[in-house]
Structure 1
Amino acid sequence: MTRVLVVTAVAAERDAVCAVAGSCAAVTLPGGQELRRAAGLPVALDVLAAGVGPAAAAAGTATALTAAALAGQPYDLVVSAGIGGGFSPGPGSGAPLGSVVVADAIVAADLGAETPDGFVPVTELGFGTVAHRPDPALVRTVAAAAGAAAGTVVTVSTVTGSAARAAELAERHPGVLAEAMEGFGVAEAAAAHGVPVLEIRAVSNAVGPRDRAAWRIGDALTALTGAFRTLPEALTAPAGPAPEPPPRSASLTRGDSHVPRRAP
C-alpha cells in the first residue's frame, strides 16, 4: 500500500485533509508533535500539522520521515498541503478564490539577497537550491483528478501584502499561481530523505493588499477536502506510458522522482 505523509501548517488544514477518511487516530512523534493516521482509504495517509513557515515545515517533515524510516515503514510520497493566496487571473494563468493548485514547481521566492540591482536568488550566490520540481506525470494525474490547475507555487516567509510585491513575484516567476509559506521547507526535507514531493493548495485569498473581509477560508478548506478525496484514486490508478522528460535547468532538478507503487 502506498504510504503518504501530508504536511499542513495548522490544525484546520490538517482536519480538512482528515475529513476524507472515516477516522483519524492520533500518533505522537518524537518531540511531542501529533500526527493523525487516516483509516479506511486505499492508501495509508498520515497528516501532520507541523507549524507555520518553511523552517517549522522542514523540521516537522524530517521528524515524521525519520520516525517512519526507523520503524521500517518509510513513506512513498510527501505532500505539502493547505490553503494559500492565489495570483490574479491573467491571460492563460491565475488562480481564483476557491480553486485548487497542484505545484509543478515549488520555489523559495525570498531565499537570497537584496542588491542594488534587485533580488538575487541564493543559487546565483553559489549556494543550495531554490526550487524543486515534482514528477510531471504525477502532477498531471493529481491535477486532472482534482480538477486543479498546475503551475508554480512560491514559498514565502513574509506573506505578500501589497500590489507592488505581488507584481514583482509574478514578473520574477512567470506562470506562478499561488503563494504559501511551507512548501519549500517540506520539499527540502523530502529531498534529503529521497522521497518524492507534491504541493496542493486551495486558494483562500488573492495575493496582494490584505483584505481579510474578502478571504474565503471556509470555501478553501472545503476545496482542500475535495481535492484530497480524489488523491487516493489518483495514486493507485495504473500508470500509463512514461512521458518524455521535459528539459530542466540545473536549479530545478532536486526532488524529481516517480512515486513507487507498492502492492496492496
Structure 2
Amino acid sequence: MRVLVVTAVPAEADSVVAGLSADGPSPAHSLPGGLTLRRCAGAEVTVDVLAGGVGPAAAAAATATALTASATATGPAYDLVVSAGIGGGFAGTAPLGSLVVADAIVAADLGAQTPDGHLAVEQLGFGRSTHVPAPLSERIAKALDAVHGPVLTVSTVTGTASRAAELTARHPRAAAEAMEGFGVAEAATAHGVPVVEIRAVSNAVGPRDRAAWRIGEALDALRNAFRLLSPVLEEEAR
C-alpha cells in the first residue's frame, strides 16, 4: 500500500515523519516545482510525506504534482491521500490537543456572499464544496480516539467571535478548521484516489489570541496520531 500525506508546512511534515519512523531521517525525493517527498517505507506500507504549502490552492497544486509524478500507465501509484496538520477546534467539540478526523471535507468559504447570507458553490451551479472522505476515516478516528466530524477548509483563518458564530450556524457539526483539506481532496478526487483528513487542534476557532495557541502540543499530538495510524494502514494493506 502506498500513501501520500500532504501537510502545509515542514514542521507538520516533521511530526508526521517522526510518528511513522523511529529510524531517523527518511530519504528525500525531488518533485517539480521545488517540492520534496520524504519516504517512510515499511514492509506493508510506504508513506510519502509532502509539505505542500499553505492554503487550498497550494495544497491542490502540490498534491496534483505528486500524484502526476508518481502515476503509472495503469493508474495512480497511491492508494490513499491524507491531508494532515494542525488546525483550529470548534468550542465544545474539539478541545486543544485533541485530534479530529474528517467525516466531511468542506470548503466553507467557497461560494457567494449575499444580503441573505452565504450561498455555497452548489447553489450557484458551479461545482461542489464538500468531499466525503474514504470509509477508512471512521476506523482511523476510532484508532486515534479522535473526534469524527466535518473539517472546514478556509482561505482566511477565523479570528473573530462573529465569524466563528457564522461558521457554526452554517455548519453546526463542524469540529475543526484548517486551510488545505479541500484542496488536497480536489486533487485526490481528480486522480481517483480516496482521501482522508487528520487535524491536531492547536487553538480554538474564534477571537485571535496567539498567547493561547498550543502549537507544540498540537505537533506532538500529530506525531502520536501517525504512530497510532501505522497499524491501521498495515492492516488495510493486508
Normalising by structure 1, report the TM-score: 0.86
1:17-37 per-position Cα deviation (integer Å, ceiling 9, x unaligned): 010212311110122211111
1:85-104 per-position Cα deviation (integer Å, ceiling 9, x unaligned): 00001xxxx10000000000
Compute the displacement of 1:71 (Å). 8.1
Q: Aligned equivalents of 1:194 and 1:75: distance in 2?
A: 10
**Who is 1:208 aligned against?**
206
Matched, 1:50 2:52: yes
Q: Aligned equivalents of 1:237 and 1:31: distance in 2?
A: 34
**Who is 1:193 aligned against?**
191
Matched, 1:139 2:137: yes
**Who is 1:249 aligned against?**
none
Say whether the 8 Å CA contact 1:41–1:232 is kept in structure 2: no
Q: Aligned equivalents of 1:24 and 1:6: distance in 2?
A: 14
Matched, 1:169 2:167: yes
The one-letter amino acid paired with 2:223 is T
Compute the displacement of 1:206 (Å). 0.3
**Who is 2:34 aligned against?**
32
- The aligned runs of 1:1-264 (5 Å cut-off) are 2-20=1-19, 21=21, 22=23, 23-40=25-42, 42-70=44-72, 74-89=77-92, 94-136=93-135, 138-237=136-235, 261=237
Q: Aligned equivalents of 2:178 and 2:71: distance in 1?
A: 28
Say whether the 8 Å CA contact 1:112–1:119 is kept in structure 2: yes
Q: Aligned equivalents of 1:85 and 1:49: distance in 2?
A: 19
Q: Aligned equivalents of 1:160 and 1:31: distance in 2?
A: 30
Secondary structure (helix, strand or coil) at the match of 1:24 reads: coil
Query: Which structure 2 segments of 5+ residues have no match?
Result: none
The one-letter amino acid paired with 2:45 is V
The one-letter amino acid paired with 1:6 is V
- Identify the range of structure 1 (216-225 vs 72-81) with the bigger mean alpha-carbon deviation: 72-81
Amino-acid identity (%): 68
Alpha-carbon RMSD? 1.4
Q: Aligned equivalents of 1:51 and 1:42: distance in 2?
A: 29
Q: Aligned equivalents of 1:102 and 1:117: distance in 2?
A: 32
The one-letter amino acid paired with 1:14 is A
Compute the displacement of 1:143 (Å). 0.8
Runs of 4+ in 1 over 6 A off after TM superposition: none
- Identify the range of structure 1 (32-41 vs 99-108) with the bigger mean alpha-carbon deviation: 32-41
1:101-145 per-position Cα deviation (integer Å, ceiling 9, x unaligned): 000000000000011111101110001100001123x11210111
1:205-232 per-position Cα deviation (integer Å, ceiling 9, x unaligned): 0000010000000000000010101112
- Identify the range of structure 1 (226-235 vs 191-200) with the bigger mean alpha-carbon deviation: 226-235
